[in-house]
Amino acid sequence: MDVLKFGGTSVANADALRKVIAIVQERHVSSQRLVAVLSATSGTTDALLALARAAGRGLFDEVAMRVEDLRDRHFGIVDDLISGGAARLSTRERVSSMIDSLSSYCQGMAFLGECTPQSLDEVASHGERLSTTIVAGALQDAGLNAVWFDARSVIRTNDAFTEALVQFSDVVRLTEQHLIPTLQLHDIVITQGFIGSTADGRTTTLGRGGSDYSAAILGATCGARTIDIYTDVSGIYTTDPRLVPEARPVPAMSFREVRELALYGAKVLHPDTIEPAIAKSIPVRVLNTFQPDAPGTIITAEQPTDVAIHAITMLKQCLAVRSVGASSSRQAQHIADASGFPVVLQLSWLEGSLMVFRYRDAEHAEHIKAAYENIAEHIDDVVTIVAVGPHAGRADAIAEVARIAAPFEPLAVTSGISPVSVVGVVNERGGLPVVRALHDQLVGP
């Protein structure tokens, strides 16, 4: 059994959905049974949250307008996607009754003039419920043995609405009870990411972007062979393609490397969300809905050792604070501890120390600078560059990074906390050239 997850852009409109359906059809031929976990169509979760807030403020007209927008948008997709008359009609009816109950619910909220976290979740859950209804209808219309499945019957959570915590052992039991039997009767199960429910049947959500997490949980509890996260890029890249046009997807990397990249600012999938899959040694692939033949990136618990360095990332908005002398260094440390400034890197030696902080905005940067003004020898605007790879922690790899960065006078080059990373700190202006040089010489064109 395989789990496929499709994000918001993959289900954004009828064109994208045709690609999703083609992928599911093809995978169905080549594989065993499938569970497809879907996000809401892109923009819909935001629209639903805005709807809920309008309802909470008692804005009946706005509520009506927003509900009809959602109805039009989803009807438009159904009509564009499903050609068969009967299938189109029955899918339209299902969409319509979901929107009708959403509408009554929001009117109730508007009467009360109240928008609680619980009602936010109830309203937001409609995005995934609608997208899966449409896809299940289209697959049935294409003659496949596909079924719509309510994720809330298995994704059991606590009642921390909007950021609910999954109760894993309950999910294992409920999967056995409800999902496995459904998979025995149907080739393809279409279900929702992001949503769950409490033991007493109230709808919850797992937090924004929670669909990857849903896919990993279901993959882990069903014992999937692989979990494929379909998105709109062809995997995890060797570096940001906007910085280095030669960047390309990394074929395989370890979970630890992904964690390190995310920690240092790379826009990769959130590592925590796939942790349940990695814990069960289920490989997670990042694939592109719009280029389904591209190999993508496979993320594994084990460390692939094909090359020394896989990827390079750059964390902007950093300040380096250098202190000279044992007492200044101690004071610098005290300030860091007391203020809770976000520390990216910290090095100390007998006669001094270097601390690198990440700031949120100009005001935050000023705040950090002011705190160190009278203690630090130097405060510099810097970037933190991190190379990750199987051998990144080795002395020869660190020396290599130091050699390449040398013309830009790095403030530091050192091994990261994890053995799969090496960290360099350079002046802001040197950031891009160093990333390019490292990519060129260590990752290769």
Nearer to ligand ASP, 48 or 109 (CB): 48
| Selected binder of ligand ASP within 40, 269, 320, 371 (CB under 6 A) | 40
Minimum CB distance to ligand ASP, residue 7 (Å): 6
Strands (E), 150-210: 188-192, 195-197, 203-205
Our finding on whether 196 is near ligand ASP (CB under 6 A) is: no
Stretch that binds ligand ASP, among 203-211, 262-270, 412-420, 429-437 (CB under 6 A): 203-211
Q: Give one DSSP letter per residue of 383-442, joined into a string.
A: EEEEEESTTTTSHHHHHHHHHHHGGG--SEEEE-SSTTEEEEEEEGGGHHHHHHHHIIII
Nearer to ligand ASP, 46 or 187 (CB): 46
Minimum CB distance to ligand ASP, residue 284 (Å): 15
The C-alpha angle with vertex 125 and arms to 124 and 128, in degrees rounded to 5, equals 110
| CA 242 to each of CA 90, 239, 335, 432: distance values in angstroms, whole numbers, following the listed order | 45, 9, 36, 11
**Which residue's C-beta sits nearest to ligand ASP?**
211
Nearer to ligand ASP, 121 or 260 (CB): 121
Our finding on whether 41 is near Mg ion (CB under 5 A) is: no
Q: Is the distance from CB of 218 to CB of 176 less than 8 angstroms?
A: no
| Selected binder of ligand ASP within 9, 10, 45, 157 (CB under 6 A) | 45
Q: Is the distance from CB of 161 to CB of 204 less than 8 angstroms?
A: yes
Nearer to Mg ion, 42 or 323 (CB): 42
Euclidean distance between the first and the last CA atom of the chain, given in angstroms as a whole number: 37
Nearer to ligand ASP, 208 or 403 (CB): 208
One-letter amino acid at 359 equals Y
Distance CA 280, CA 221 (A): 9
Distance CA 242, CA 247 (A): 9
| Selected binder of Mg ion within 9, 39, 125, 231 (CB under 5 A) | 39
Nearer to ligand ASP, 193 or 265 (CB): 193
Minimum CB distance to ligand ASP, residue 17 (Å): 15
| Selected binder of ligand ASP within 56, 137, 193, 249 (CB under 6 A) | 193
Nearer to ligand ASP, 155 or 425 (CB): 155
Minimum CB distance to Mg ion, residue 270 (Å): 12
Minimum CB distance to Mg ion, residue 7 (Å): 6
Work out the angle between the directed axes of helices 362-372 and 326-339 (0-180°, nearest 10): 140
Q: Is the distance from CB of 414 to CB of 436 less than 8 angstroms?
A: no
Residue 193 interacting entry, from Mg ion, ligand ASP, none, C-beta within 5 to 8 Å by type: ligand ASP
With CB under 6 A, what is the number of residues at the site for ligand ASP? 12
Residue 230 interacting entry, from ligand ASP, Mg ion, none, C-beta within 5 to 8 Å by type: none
Site string for ligand ASP, 206-225 (x = CB under 6 A): --xxxx--------------
The C-alpha angle with vertex 262 and arms to 256 and 264, in degrees rounded to 5, equals 105
* Residue pointed to by tokens 């360099």: 424
Q: Is the distance from CB of 338 to CB of 324 less than 8 angstroms?
A: no
Nearer to Mg ion, 2 or 212 (CB): 212
Our finding on whether 8 is near Mg ion (CB under 5 A) is: yes
Nearer to ligand ASP, 84 or 209 (CB): 209
Work out the angle between the directed axes of helices 85-112 and 60-81 (0-180°, nearest 10): 170
Strands (E), 92-246: 146-149, 188-192, 195-197, 203-205, 227-231
Minimum CB distance to Mg ion, residue 166 (Å): 18
> Contact positions toward ligand ASP, by CB under 6 A?
7-8, 39-40, 45, 127, 193-194, 208-211
> Contact positions toward Mg ion, by CB under 5 A?
8, 39
